[in-house]
């Protein structure tokens, strides 16, 4: 773990430049606005260790698969969000010497991510080899008001000299992904110009997405725009720049404003990209910096009014949850149903920036409760739009009759993951997508979505499960063979309980949904039957037979659910038996040793008990928690949140708090020594759930909000907000009890510790312990 980030309720602060942690900081201080984002790379020259990263949502490249042993059914490519043209460059040269943060002597270095206002700033004093000193300040934001605009304000002051300064403001399109399988560059140049404001248009190979990046740079000295004819306009391959030469006067500040427009063919005709970019620059020039940042900060204030969690008495926990919420809000806005959320968001290349099942399992609840209902609906609509591709994916593996297997990794609905134990076997992802439909409709009451879109998805997924499940003559039960569960430290196992459970649940829920539509909307029911060619009697009776005869591994002696067949044949140890130098085991053990061990990467049985907690008593959940948690190494970012929620449910308060803190500060403290690759964006939704679902005991049951809260002893109070079916509630919990304020024009009923209360509009209630 690393502890160089200062604790502050609203800011992420690094005091003093630590080159060995620079790539970690580039991840932590990242910015985004839902449409594009970037790592916190320096504007200046920097020859030290760095991972350059600018990313545009929805723009990807199908990098050719690189595997040693090809198998039928493998995808031909791995989709990757591309490292896009770098527009941040404001490179300084003083009297012929470059300002390089890796070679100059630096003091008073500080970088700050202001989460409340949505900007990144830094400052430092640099000393050149000949003793000349300059003071630098920079401030950068990606507008959430105009999501095609980015702005940099850069200030430089000469401390002990006057001399010539060159300011190189550039756009570099000659970049590549660090994770390119064959060291290939993925962009072709289409067009560029420096005649007015520099711009460059590049196009992705194969996928033919086009992006235009344009910039307008203004220099002000003594409060006046610098008029200089000494501008060198540079055009190289995939590169444009303006190089300004002028005099830097001692103790006078030179301010540089760089407005950047990023437009793409996702939103504009290809032939109009430059025109659209110039329109954004005109917009920025008209409003100017002060108004742009003021409007940006107001927009962020609105976001915080919807989604903030306030913790009193624990600055580390407060900073952590706001950092998680900040990243979630700047990664996804729900404006475009074509977009989803990659595990690293806009902060790195790992996992290709593609969509995983993490979205449905760990992110949907956050957007359901903190944003307009349409935002969560867009996440579900994304999967509906990919249904035909999911059917094609299943067909490639031999499934028929419209069966759908949603991909483990995707950009456009097509599977692009190529590890056999994941691509072919980690099929529980299908269940998470079905569960998300249930979760959404349970929360919102939006049965219209179920009728218009959800039912078709449920039918296709159910057809997959009905074919993937096998009837065992020996057992006279249905079994699930050759799978990988959420615990990826087990491959090709039989009867993983979680996979079997969520598959069987899907079949039941799909049948219930079909019957609901049949009873309530005959016209839509007939449309769905015709469109899906559903054989109502034959298929639903088969699903019902599976429901009745599904085999689940269980140990009667210990009265625990078995993770899979044969789990108890392993040498049963606990994590406390591992030596410190063996952790994490995925970095220190052979894969053979991991597969034979009892150690669990992340919640598996416990993931199912979290989803389906209403079907099990607290005693049953606790027996399984006490058996599996000590064997869990938590080497997935998705692990701690589920354990925190269950620990809270079981009144294991200290464990719940510790799991929360592990999840919340995973990146800030670099727990797993991998933050330099990018942040764990999808696990951040789980961090929010740890507080709201865990400590707050929040659930939706029978169309009503339920709370059974407690407060960690480290906190004085905490509060969060919930949107629910038109109501907006602020929930505050302290040692004395719970206070709920209805901030909407709609009456609302809630259940607190199993007792029902009505909260009138613009009113509040207090329930004491």
Listing DSSP states for 314-345 in one string gives: -HHHHHHHHHHHHHHHHH--SS-TT----TTT
| pLDDT (0 to 100) of residue 672 | 85
| pLDDT (0 to 100) of residue 756 | 97
Active site residue 488: yes
Give the span between the Cα atoms of 122 and 503, in whole angstroms. Answer: 50
Q: 416 falls in which pLDDT band (50, 70, 90)?
A: confident
3-state class (DSSP) for residue 279: helix
| pLDDT (0 to 100) of residue 224 | 85
- Backbone φ and ψ for 741, nearest 5 degrees, come out as -110, 125
| 692-733 residue pLDDT tens | 999 999 999 999 999 999 999 999 999 999 999 999 999 999
Mean pLDDT (whole number) for 264-276: 98
Give the span between the Cα atoms of 327 and 349, in whole angstroms. Answer: 16
Helix (H), strand (E), coil (C) string for 684-737: HHHHHHHHHHHHCCCEEECCEEEECCCCCCCCCEEEEEEEECCEEEEEEEECCE
| pLDDT (0 to 100) of residue 68 | 59
Q: 562 falls in which pLDDT band (50, 70, 90)?
A: very high
| pLDDT (0 to 100) of residue 73 | 73
Percent of all residues in the chain with a pLDDT value above 70, rounded to a whole number: 98
| 591-608 residue pLDDT tens | 999 999 999 999 999 999
Mean pLDDT (whole number) for 648-677: 95
| pLDDT (0 to 100) of residue 373 | 94
Least Cα distance to 310 among 696, 697, 742 occurs for: 696
Q: 409 falls in which pLDDT band (50, 70, 90)?
A: confident
77 compared with 702, residue with greater pLDDT: 702
Mean pLDDT (whole number) for 452-475: 98
| pLDDT (0 to 100) of residue 343 | 85
| 484-526 residue pLDDT tens | 999 999 999 999 999 999 999 999 999 999 999 999 999 999 9
Q: 176 falls in which pLDDT band (50, 70, 90)?
A: confident
Mean pLDDT (whole number) for 298-326: 97
| pLDDT (0 to 100) of residue 67 | 62
| pLDDT (0 to 100) of residue 226 | 85
Give the span between the Cα atoms of 648 and 691, in whole angstroms. Answer: 9
Exposure string of 513-550, with b = 16+ CB inside 10 Å and e = fewer, is: bbebbeeeeeebbebbbeebebeeeebbebbeebeebb
Q: 245 falls in which pLDDT band (50, 70, 90)?
A: very high
Q: 399 falls in which pLDDT band (50, 70, 90)?
A: very high
Mean pLDDT (whole number) for 426-435: 97
For the chain, the average pLDDT equals 95
| pLDDT (0 to 100) of residue 46 | 98
Annotated active-site residue in 488, 629, 676, 741: 488
| 199-241 residue pLDDT tens | 999 999 999 999 999 999 999 988 888 876 789 999 999 999 9
- Backbone φ and ψ for 437, nearest 5 degrees, come out as -65, -45
Residue 628 has pLDDT above 80, yes or no: yes
Give the span between the Cα atoms of 257 and 216, in whole angstroms. Answer: 8
Residue 404 Cα distances to 30, 409, 434, angstroms = 36, 15, 11
Residue 182 neighbours by CB distance under 10 Å: 7
> Is 145 within 8 Å of 35 (Cβ atoms)?
no
62 compared with 597, residue with greater pLDDT: 597
């Amino acid at each position: 773990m690393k502890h160089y980030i200062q604790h502050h309720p609203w800011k992420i602060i690094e005091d003093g430049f630590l080159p060995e942690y620079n790539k970690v900081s580039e991840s932590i201080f990242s910015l985004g606005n839902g449409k594009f984002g970037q790592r916190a790379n320096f504007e200046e020259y920097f020859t030290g260790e760095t991972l350059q990263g600018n990313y545009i949502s929805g723009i990807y490249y199908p990098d050719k698969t690189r595997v040693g042993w090809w198998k039928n059914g493998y995808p031909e490519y791995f989709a990757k969000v591309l490292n896009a043209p770098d527009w941040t460059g404001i490179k300084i040269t003083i009297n012929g010497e470059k300002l390089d943060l890796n070679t100059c002597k630096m003091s008073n270095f500080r970088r700050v991510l202001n989460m409340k206002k949505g900007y990144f700033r830094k400052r430092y004093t640099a000393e050149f080899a000949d003793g000349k000193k300059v003071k630098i300040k920079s401030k950068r934001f990606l507008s959430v008001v105009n999501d095609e605009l980015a702005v940099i304000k850069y200030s430089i002051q000469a401390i002990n000299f006057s001399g010539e300064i060159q300011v190189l403001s550039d756009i570099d399109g000659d970049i590549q992904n660090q994770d390119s399988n064959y060291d290939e560059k993925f962009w072709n140049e289409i067009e560029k110009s420096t005649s007015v404001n520099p711009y460059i248009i590049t196009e992705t190979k194969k996928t033919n997405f086009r992006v235009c990046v344009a910039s307008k740079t203004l220099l002000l000295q003594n409060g006046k725009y610098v008029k200089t004819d000494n501008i060198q306009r540079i055009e190289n391959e995939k590169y444009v720049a303006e190089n300004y030469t002028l005099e830097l006067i001692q103790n006078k500040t030179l301010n540089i404003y760089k407005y950047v427009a990023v437009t793409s063919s996702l939103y504009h005709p290809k032939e109009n990209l430059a025109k659209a970019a110039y329109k954004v620059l005109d917009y920025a020039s008209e409003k100017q910096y002060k108004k742009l940042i003021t409007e940006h900060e107001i927009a962020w204030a609105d976001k915080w009014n919807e989604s903030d969690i306030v913790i009193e008495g624990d600055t580390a926990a407060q900073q952590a949850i706001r950092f998680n919420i900040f990243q979630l809000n700047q990664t996804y806005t729900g404006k475009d149903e074509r977009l989803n959320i990659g595990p690293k968001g806009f902060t790195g290349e790992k996992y290709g920036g593609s969509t995983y099942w993490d979205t449905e399992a760990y992110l949907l609840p956050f957007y359901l409760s903190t944003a307009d209902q349409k935002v969560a609906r867009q996440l579900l609509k994304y999967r509906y739009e990919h249904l035909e591709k999911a059917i094609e994916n299943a067909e490639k593996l031999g499934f028929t009759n419209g069966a759908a297997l949603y991909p483990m990794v995707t950009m456009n609905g097509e599977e692009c993951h190529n590890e056999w134990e994941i691509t072919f076997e980690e099929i529980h992802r299908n269940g998470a997508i079905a569960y998300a439909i249930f979760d959404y409709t349970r929360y919102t009451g939006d049965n219209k979505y179920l009728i218009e879109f959800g039912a078709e998805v449920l039918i296709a997924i159910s057809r997959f499960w009905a074919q993937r499940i096998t009837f065992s003559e020996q057992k006279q039960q249905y079994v699930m063979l050759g799978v990988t569960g959420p615990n990826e430290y087990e491959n090709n196992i039989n009867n993983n309980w979680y996979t079997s459970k969520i598959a069987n649940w899907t079949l039941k829920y799909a049948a219930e949904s079909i019957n609901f539509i049949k009873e309530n909307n005959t016209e839509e029911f007939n449309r769905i039957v015709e469109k899906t060619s559903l054989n109502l009697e034959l298929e639903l009776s088969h699903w019902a037979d599976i429901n009745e005869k599904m085999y689940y591994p269980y140990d009667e002696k210990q009265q625990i659910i078995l993770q899979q067949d044969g789990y108890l044949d392993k040498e049963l140890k606990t994590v406390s038996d591992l030596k410190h130098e063996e952790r994490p085991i995925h970095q220190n053990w052979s894969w053979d040793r991991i597969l034979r061990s009892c150690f669990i990467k992340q919640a598996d049985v416990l993931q199912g008990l979290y989803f389906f907690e209403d079907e099990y008593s607290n005693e049953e959940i606790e027996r399984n928690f006490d058996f599996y948690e000590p064997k869990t190494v938590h080497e997935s970012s998705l692990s701690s949140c589920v354990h925190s929620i269950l620990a809270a449910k079981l009144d294991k308060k200290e464990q719940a708090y510790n799991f929360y803190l592990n999840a919340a500060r995973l990146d800030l403290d670099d727990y797993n020594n991998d933050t330099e690759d990018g942040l764990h964006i999808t696990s951040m939704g789980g961090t929010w759930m740890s507080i709201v679902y865990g400590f707050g005991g929040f659930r939706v049951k029978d169309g009503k909000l339920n709370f059974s809260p407690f407060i960690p002893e480290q906190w004085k109070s905490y509060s969060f907000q919930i949107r629910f079916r038109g109501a907006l509630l602020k929930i505050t919990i302290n040692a004395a009890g719970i206070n709920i304020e209805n901030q909407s024009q709609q009456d609302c009923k809630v259940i607190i510790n199993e007792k029902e209360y009505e909260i009138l509009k613009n009113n509040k209630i207090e329930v004491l312990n």
